[in-house]
Amino acid sequence: MNTGTKITAFAAVLAASFGISYGVGAALDPVRTSAAGATAPATEQAHDTAGTGHASNAADAPGTAETATGSSASAAHPAGGLATSEAGYTLDLLTPRVDSGHPVPLRFLIRDSGGRPLTEYRRAHGKELHLILASRDLTGYRHLHPVRAADGTWSTTVGLPHAGDYRVFADFTPDAEGGRNLTLGTDLSVAGDHRPTGPMPASRTATVDGYTVTLDGDLRAGAEQELRLTVTRDGREVTDLQPYLGAYGHLVALRAGDVAYLHVHPGGAPGDGRTAPGPDVSFRTTAPSAGTYRLFFDFRHNGAVRTAAFTVTAAPGDARADADGRGTGGHGH
Ligand SMILES: [Cu+2]
According to the 3-state scheme, what is the secondary structure of the chain? CCCCCCCCCCHHHHCCCCCCCCCCHHHCCCCCCCCCCCCCCCEEECCCCCCCCEEECHHHCCCCCCCCCCCCCCCCCCCECCCCEECCEEEEECCCEEECCCCEEEEEEEECCCCCECCCEECECCECEEEEEEECCCCCEEEEECEECCCCCEEEEECCCCCEEEEEEEEEEECCCCCCCEEEEEEEEEECCCCCCCCCCCECEEEECCEEEEEECCCEECECEEEEEEEEECCEECCCCECECCECCEEEEEECCCCCEEECEECCCCCCCCCCCCCEEEEEECECCCEEEEEEEEEEECCEEEEEEEEEEEECCCHHHHHCCCCCCCCCC
CA 93 – ligand 1 centroid, Å:
18
CA 168 – ligand 1 centroid, Å:
13
Question: Is 6 inside a domain boundary?
Answer: no
Confidence check: pLDDT of 137 > 50: yes
pTM of the complete model: 0.74
Confidence check: pLDDT of 300 > 90: yes
pLDDT in tens, 96-114: 999 999 999 999 999 999 9
Question: Is 62 inside a domain boundary?
Answer: no
92 plus 140 within the same structural domain: yes
pLDDT score, position 320: 53
CA 332 – ligand 1 centroid, Å:
42
Residue-range definition of the domain harbouring residue 129: 11-53+80-191
CA 250 – ligand 1 centroid, Å:
9
Last residue of a domain, one of 142, 169, 191: 191
CA 299 – ligand 1 centroid, Å:
12
CA 170 – ligand 1 centroid, Å:
10
Question: Is 329 inside a domain boundary?
Answer: no
174 plus 246 within the same structural domain: no
226 plus 140 within the same structural domain: no
90 plus 179 within the same structural domain: yes
Number of domains in the chain: 2
CATH of the domain at 37: 2.60.40.1930
Last residue of a domain, one of 158, 191, 224: 191
Least confident window among 43-52, 107-116, 256-265: 43-52
pLDDT in tens, 57-71: 333 433 333 333 333
Last residue of a domain, one of 140, 167, 191: 191
CATH of the domain at 225: 2.60.40.10
143 plus 25 within the same structural domain: yes
CA 69 – ligand 1 centroid, Å:
13
252 plus 131 within the same structural domain: no
